Chain A
Amino acid sequence: MMSDLVAQGANLEPLTWTLPHAVAGTMVLSLNAYVLLAGADFGGGVWDMFAVGREREEQRAIIEDAIGPIWEANHVWLILVVVLLFTCFPRAFAHLATELHVPITLLLVGIVLRGSAFTFRKYDSHRDAVQLRWGRIFSIASFVTPMLLGLCLGTVASGRVGFGRNRANLTFGERFVEPWLTSPFGWAVALLTLSLFAFLAATYLTVEAEHSSLSRDFRRRALQSQFGFLAAVGVTMWMAQASAPTLHAGLTSGVLAVLMLSATGAAIVVAVFSLATERYRMARFAAAAQATFVLWGWAWSQFPFLIPPDGRIDALAASPAMLKLNLITLAIGTVILLPGFAYLFWIFKRKDVISSPEREQ
């Protein structure tokens, strides 16, 4: 039954699950965690930039308290994706790091500035000018980094950096700049990522700020960014039709794709509804579901390719011994670390604590 469904998916070939696919799935899972956790941290930085009005300082404080203890742990999910990529798909890693050298470098600068400015702000003088300077770096980096992340993923998905082209005779611009800079689809995904992260953050923050007037502010922002997100989805689909037809087909045809689309749609509706009616906890859940469906929809649409149009997951994989050991390690690690994660979030996201954020120095 399942395989029937799957066979009707994007690529109309029967799927045999192999070790490389399991690892690729694990990578998407890890990326999923990164989007839900670190994505919201980035979004928090975006809202830090737009913190205005009389309650500006309270808004900033709540954002800082929400991110402070957990951002390092959230950030590790990205490291895990990268590590899995270079240990299990070394050729893919080498290829992407070469062809997307420029945007990845910019992405790194963004990650460095975001993490360090956030921490520096906390420990530097609390005079306004100083705080403002770090705050500005923090929020600009939070704004730009998700876009670069989306741009890189979108460029890959659009099939512009596949293995097929003969690259040796291209000029610098043709090879290292054009594929991503002139990818309309890539930029659409960039906007989509940014608005999604901003939406996640605002929705989570309505819960963090529950029972205070701030939750209203964040509710308004959540709705605004949700509409931004919907617009970005529209643009992305439209672009996909023109510049990434296989992807577009993958997203829209086949039973699984339709299921995925309807699930996403349902999550979006629930999220908007529960925000409108101030059911913040439900909104948080729906927002996370929405992001998750979007991510898996993308992953599914480019299956069985790691790097469309010609880099197949199974063809790019390292030796089975390496894949097997990696999966075993991760399984053991999950068993050990999940309680740790639960403990971390339990300590810092408990209700009684949230309503009385205490601050260090």
Chain B
Amino acid sequence: MNDLLFARSQMAMSLGFHIIFAVIGIGMPALMVIAEWRWLRTGNAVLLDLARRWSRGTSIMFAVGAVSGTVLSFELGLLWPGFMEYAGGIIGMPFSLEGLAFFTEAIFLGIYLFAWDRISPRAHLFAGILVAVSGALSGAFVVCANAWMNGPAGFSVIDGVVTDVQPMVAMFNPAAGVEVVHMTFAAFAATGFAVAGVHAFALLKRTSNKEFHRAALQIALVVGVPAAMLQPISGDWSARVVGRLQPVKLAAMEGHMRTGPAALVIGGWPDTDQLEMRGAIEIPGAISLLMKGDRSASIPGLDAVSPDDRPPVPIVHIAFQTMVACGIVLSLIGIWTIVRALLRRRGRGKPLPDDRWFLRAIITAAPLGFVAIEAGWTVTEVGRQPWIIQGFMRTADAVTPMPGLWISFALFTALYIGLAIAVIFLLRRQIARTVVT
């Protein structure tokens, strides 16, 4: 491997690591606030207990989110000085705003986690709401920065020199809206289903504390299900924007090799030499229909650009299919959840703790949101290659001149593996306590 590849791997690993904790940092405050709010309304002490236990697990995640995010902000320069020199002065706004969101989040998180007994319940709940809102905002801001790499805007280049910088135009670039919406839903869907899985597991094990886990499961599903069901709609919108801004990325996602009417390709392996899909199920014209409303509309394929300008198709195609598959499964479980809730209203079906098949389904679905997130980011980032700023700068021109990057890659890999092991161990400890009590 060369230095560029190590730099890319290190960036991918750091982001893939951070995003897990960032997503939990967006999703968990919402769950905790709902539990606490319902406790204030009903006075049911189980709900307070729930909010407190959730907050304990979450503070571990927050600490790791904060340190891994700090690594990222430095890494942008350590690995991609060329990119930062070019882009820092254009796409700075969302990063500064993100800084303010971090402040809000960190201040009120300190209050939320440590001041349960020191301030009034209402003030405490309000602190929680601020954490939830600022968490979602910080995610939205940084995704605006990422969107700019896909749909650069807000500057002109004259003779290779960047001029006429308009920071706000750069921030609200044409890819920002869709990415922010899709990412925010993703955070709620992934967290909701993962938490639901933990509590469904406790119920399936016939915990003695049924009421606690039932309340937890309900709140987690209330957050996870709507978000998961909106995800295919929002994803369809994302795909249209990708088709407009990055037609080659769309072609790689769909495995659409040659310009012409595009089929919906399920599975299969892209042969990039012959520009053919092998072993795939194809529904002719379906993508053309989705994108243009006409089965025979022509869509640019990979052959529209020279091989140098194509991303690694197999990775992008498989990652995309993985995400969509996860999205479909989560939506189907969402429908199931709603149907059985409606049936229960009419007095039919089993109560939640006894509906063992449903619990099993929830447990199976628990990791899928996170799988979809990792896959989705792979689509976005790998699909943009060889560009780091679509159409303006190649990744190879952005990388640091520092040699021997394998050392830094090995160092951070070891660090993240260590952190991951510690987090898993500590969370198991927290969860094990809740499951037995």
- In chain A between 219 and 264, which residues have their CB closer than 8 angstroms to a CB of chain B? none
For B71-97 the 0/1 string (1 means CB < 8 A from A) is 101111110011011111110110111
Report which of B76, B89, B400, B408 forms a contact with A319, defined as CB distance below 8 A. B89
Residues of A within 8 A of B88 (CB): 86-87, 90, 93-94, 318
Inter-subunit contact A112/B68 (CB<8 Å)? yes
What string of 1s and 0s marks CB contacts (under 8 Å) between A318-361 and chain B?
A: 11011001100110010011001101100110000100001011
Is B411 within 8 A of A343, CB to CB? no
CB within 8 Å for A337 and B77 given contacts A72-B106, A120-B422, A348-B110? no
Q: Is A79 an interface residue (CB 8 A)?
A: yes
CB-CB under 8 A for A123 and B430, given A73-B110, A112-B415: yes
Instruction: Report the bound CA distance from A73 to B131 in whole Å.
Output: 12
B95 to chain A, nearest CB (A): 5
Residue with the highest number of chain B CB atoms closer than 10 Å, among A97, A113, A125: A97
**Given the complex, which residues of B lie within 8 Å of A124, measured CB to CB?**
426, 429
B113 contacts chain A at the CB level, 8 A cutoff:
yes
Interface readout for A72-89 with B: 1 if CB under 8 Å, 0 if not?
110110111011101110
Interface of chain A residues 79 through 128 with chain B (CB within 8 A) = 79-80, 82-84, 86-88, 90-91, 93-98, 101, 104-105, 107-109, 111-113, 115-116, 118-120, 123-125
Interface hub of A90, A318, A361 (most chain B Cβ within 10 A): A90
**B63 pairs with A115, CB closer than 8 A:** yes
The answer to whether B165 and A319 have CB atoms under 8 Å apart is yes
B404 touches A172 (CB 8 A): yes
B402 contacts A98, CB within 8 Å?
Answer: yes
CA A98 – CA B87 in complex, angstroms? 16
Within the complex, the shortest CB–CB distance from B293 to chain A, in Å, comes to 40
Cα of A343 to Cα of B126 in the assembled complex, Å: 13
| Cross-chain contact B96 with A360 (CB below 8 angstroms) | no
CB contacts (< 8 Å) of A93 on chain B: these are: 77, 81, 84-85, 88
Bits for B162-197, please: 1 = Cβ < 8 Å to A, else 0. Answer: 000111100000000000000000000000000000
A87 lies within 8 A of B92 (CB) = yes
Please indicate the chain B residues that have their CB under 8 angstroms from the CB of A72 in the complex: 62-63, 66, 106, 109-110
**A123 and B95 within 8 A (CB):** no
> What is the CA–CA distance of A80 and B92 in the complex, to the nearest angstrom?
12
* Chain A residues, Cβ within 8 Å of B212: none
* Chain B, Cβ-Cβ closest to A327: B96
Q: How far apart sit A347 and B118, CA to CA, in the bound complex (Å)?
A: 7
| Given A94-B77, A123-B430, A344-B107: A87 in contact with B70 (beta carbons within 8 A) | no
Q: Is A68 an interface residue (CB 8 A)?
A: yes
B interface, by DSSP: helix, strand, loop or mixed?
A: helix
> Across the interface, do A329 and B96 meet the contact criterion of CB distance under 8 Å?
yes
Q: How far is the CA of A97 from the CA of B71 in the complex (A)?
A: 12
| A115→B77 contact, CB < 8 A | no
Q: Which residue of A lies closest to B426 (CB)?
A: A123
Once A96-B77, A115-B67, A119-B63 are accepted as A-B contacts, the answer to whether A318 and B115 lie under 8 Å apart by CB is: no
Q: Which residues of B lie under 8 Å from residue A116 when comparing CB positions? A: 63-64, 67, 419, 422
Q: How far is the CA of A334 from the CA of B106 in the complex (A)?
A: 15
Chain B residues in 8 Å Cβ range of A25: none
| Count of chain A to chain B residue pairs whose CB atoms are closer than 8 Å in the complex | 205
Q: Which single residue of chain B is at the shortest CB-CB distance from A328?
A: B96
Contact between A333 and B84, CB atoms less than 8 A apart? no
CA distance A326 to B89 in the complex (A): 11
Chain A proximity mask over B384-409: 1 for CB below 8 Å, otherwise 0: 00000000000000001111100010
In the assembled complex, the Cα of A70 lies from the Cα of B108 at a distance in Å of 10
- Report yes or no: A358 in contact with B73, Cβ–Cβ below 8 A: no
A77 to B381, CA, bound (A): 29
Tell me the smallest distance from the CB of B25 to a CB of chain A, in Å. 11
Q: Contact check, B78 vs A337: say whether CB atoms are below 8 A apart.
A: no
- A93-B88, A112-B415 known; A101+B78 contact, CB < 8 A: yes
Per-residue B-contact encoding for A114-156, CB less than 8 Å = 1, 0 else: 0110111001110000000000000000000000000000000
The contact size tier of chain A is 35 or more
Which residues of B from 86 to 134 have beta carbons under 8 Å from A?
A: 86-90, 92-93, 95-100, 102-104, 106-111, 113-115, 117-119
Residues in chain A near residue B98, CB distance under 8 A: 83
Interface assignment of B60: CB less than 8 Å from any CB of chain A: yes
Partner of A90, one of B87, B93, B108, B168: B87
Q: Does A176 contact B (CB under 8 A)?
A: yes
CB-CB under 8 A for A105 and B408, given A79-B73, A353-B118:
yes
Q: Is the CB of B402 within 8 A of A325?
A: no
- Identify the closest chain A residue to B119 (Cβ): A347
Query: Is there contact, CB below 8 Å, between B60 and A123?
Result: yes
Contact A337 B82 (CB under 8 A): no
- What is the bound-complex CA distance between A319 and B295, given in angstroms? 47
User: Any chain B CB within 8 A of the CB of A69?
Assistant: yes
- Complex Cα distance, B115 from A358, in Å, reads 10
Q: Could you write out 18 A-B pairs with CB less than 8 Å apart? A: A72-B63, A75-B66, A79-B102, A80-B103, A88-B89, A90-B86, A94-B88, A104-B74, A108-B74, A109-B411, A109-B415, A115-B63, A119-B64, A321-B165, A325-B167, A336-B100, A344-B110, A358-B117
B interface with A by C-beta (< 8 Å): 56, 59-60, 62-64, 66-71, 73-78, 81-82, 84-90, 92-93, 95-100, 102-104, 106-111, 113-115, 117-119, 165-168, 400-404, 408, 411, 415, 419, 422, 426, 429-430
List 7 tightest A-B contacts by C-beta distance, closest first: A87-B92, A97-B77, A90-B88, A318-B89, A94-B81, A119-B63, A69-B114
Given A172-B403, A321-B165, A333-B103, 7 new contacts (CB under 8 A): A72-B63, A73-B110, A76-B99, A82-B74, A86-B76, A97-B400, A104-B78
